[in-house]
Amino acid sequence: MEQNQINPAELDRLFSELAEKNWATSHSLVPSELCQQLAAEIFALDNAGTMQPASIGHGSSKTHLQDVRGDKTYWLEEATSSPVQNSARALLSQLQTELNRHFYLGLKRFEAHFALYPPGAGYDKHVDNHRGESARRITFILYLNTNWQPDHGGELSFFSPEQEDLRIARIEPRLGTLVLFRSEIFPHQVEKSLHPRLSLTGWFRNDVL
Ligand code: OGA
Ligand code: MN
């Protein structure tokens, strides 16, 4: 399979933005053809009944709380990866290498899942990684919604670390938009989506399995 090469100029721009604000977006780093293929896989997995309701918390406190978080997920695993999933994993792996080169983050691996928010679902305000609690360092979210329209909802609201009720950005989940942020810093929430809302989401981590 042909490797998707990351555009070095766009990567530089994205990393400057990340260095400056601790979060950043790119609309062109990930080829839209790959995004369309990923979206098609999510619909196929969902039609096959393979997407599972997402859970919150760990171990015995792990629970399904659809009012808090209404998405269905499918975790990408090396052993069961399709060619399209492999392309995405290869790209994330390149991104991990570049993040380490630029920011000395000591990232060792990433975890990634497809997410599908059915109509009416969202995800309440949360932080992905409470300081010191886990090894998630950088969150990535790649949106996969062709023809997203403002009245579809499902934006990512991004809040100030110092002032949790101050919204600093509202990101539209359009096909090909990639968001990166420091996992332990930013409260964020997924606004209720009125249409099925697709993404590839995950974390670059500094621990080993
Ligand atoms: C998450 C999350 C945001 C989004 O999965 O932890 O916050 O926009 N996702 O999908
Ligand atoms: Mn999150």
| pLDDT (0 to 100) of residue 63 | 56
Residue nearest to atom 5 of ligand 1 (CA): 201
Residue with tokens 């991104």: 95
- Ligand 1 contact, 178 CB (< 6 A): no
At 96-132, the pLDDT tens digits run 999 999 999 999 999 999 999 999 999 999 999 866 6
Q: Is there a contact between 116 and 122 (Cβ–Cβ < 8 Å)?
A: no
Give the length of the chain. 209
- Ligand 1 contact, 205 CB (< 6 A): no
Residue nearest to atom 3 of ligand 1 (CA): 190
Long-range contacts for 46-55 (Cβ within 8 Å, ≥24 apart)?
A: 46/72, 46/116, 50/74, 51/114, 51/116, 54/115
- Ligand 1 contact, 123 CB (< 6 A): yes
Residue to probe by mutation, ligand 1, list 141, 144, 185, 205, most atoms within 8 Å of CB = 141
| pLDDT (0 to 100) of residue 198 | 98
CA of 188 to the centre of ligand 1 (A): 8
- Ligand 1 contact, 156 CB (< 6 A): yes
| pLDDT (0 to 100) of residue 6 | 92
Quote the CA–CA distance of 147 and 174 in Å, as a whole number: 7
Atom index in ligand 1 nearest the CA of residue 54 equals 5
At 87-98, the pLDDT tens digits run 999 999 999 999
Burial of 120 from C-beta contacts in 10 A (0-12 / 13-18 / 19+) = exposed
Residues of the chain with pLDDT under 50: 1, 60
| pLDDT (0 to 100) of residue 1 | 47
Q: Is there a contact between 71 and 54 (Cβ–Cβ < 8 Å)?
A: yes
